[in-house]
Chains A and B, each alone.
Chain A
Amino acid sequence: DTGVSQDPRHKITKRGQNVTFRCDPISEHNRLYWYRQTLGQGPEFLTYFQNEAQLEKSRLLSDRFSAERPKGSFSTLEIQRTEQGDSAMYLCASSPGGFNSPLHFGNGTRLTVT
């Protein structure tokens, strides 16, 4: 069990640029979640995958955000035309599914939009 891995750990970009983050969940975890966390707040849900199917998206996920999990393993989160308000920590979590399975989080990608 190597844990949830996220890449990159830090990303600095200029406003208007596109960015893509990657998440590798714990192997055999079929559920994958993306969260966003701003300073002084708890993580906020963005989207959820069961295997390769994206089953839920938060209203926080504007049309500039898109997430994929093409083979049911790793996932990517893309933000197009970044805005300064997108600056946050983006956290990925996975779980094996089943009743009340806790989420296991990666160490996140810290995005700074200048």
Chain B
Amino acid sequence: GQQLNQSPQSMFIQEGEDVSMNCTSSSIFNTWLWYKQDPGEGPVLLIALYKAGELTSNGRLTAQFGITRKDSFLNISASIPSDVGIYFCAGPSASNTGKLIFGQGTTLQVKP
């Protein structure tokens, strides 16, 4: 079945550092989504990617849709304490119902 693998599983960085995380799959995805989840809350959409090779930014966040359509990357520049949370990649399932398959998440901790 479709699965998404995220790495690293967790990161502990100093405020101001840049962060990079990725998501890979053995299946091709036509859309890649990146969500952030704060403790006790639901995931919030950060960036959506719809085209292979696409590079999209949202403030300090930049995400890329891999050329092979089997991976995606999320970069955060100049991290701040409020970047703390769990970052999930997600892609639509092959069932065409709009449901999403999620990776297991990358937990980010930022030391002030």
Residues of A within 8 A of B (CB): 4, 31, 33, 40-45, 48, 50, 55-56, 91, 93, 95, 97, 100-108, 110
Secondary structure dominating the interface of B: loop
- Inter-subunit contact B99/A33 (CB<8 Å): yes
Most buried by A among B42, B88, B104, B105: B42
User: A41-B104, A100-B31, A103-B100 are known contacts. Are A56 and B95 too (CB-CB below 8 A)?
Assistant: yes
Choose the segment among B12-20, B44-52, B62-70, B74-82 that binds chain A (4+ C-beta atoms closer than 8 Å): B44-52
- Inter-subunit contact B33/A107 (CB<8 Å): no
Residues of B within 8 A of A (CB): 4, 30-31, 33, 35, 40-45, 48, 50, 88, 90, 92-93, 95, 97-105
- Inter-subunit contact B42/A105 (CB<8 Å): yes
Name the residue on B nearest A104 (C-beta).
B45
* B48 surroundings in chain A (CB, below 8 A): 100, 102
- Inter-subunit contact B97/A55 (CB<8 Å): yes
User: A100-B31, A102-B33 are known contacts. Are A107 and B99 too (CB-CB below 8 A)?
Assistant: no
User: A107-B42, A108-B42 are known contacts. Are A42 and B88 too (CB-CB below 8 A)?
Assistant: yes
- Inter-subunit contact A108/B99 (CB<8 Å): no
* B33 surroundings in chain A (CB, below 8 A): 102
* Minimum C-beta distance from A74 to chain B (A): 16
29 contacts between A and B (CB under 8 A): A31-B98, A33-B99, A41-B105, A42-B102, A42-B103, A42-B104, A42-B105, A44-B102, A45-B93, A45-B99, A48-B98, A50-B97, A55-B97, A56-B97, A91-B42, A93-B42, A95-B98, A100-B92, A102-B48, A103-B98, A104-B45, A105-B35, A105-B42, A105-B43, A107-B40, A107-B42, A108-B40, A108-B42, A110-B40
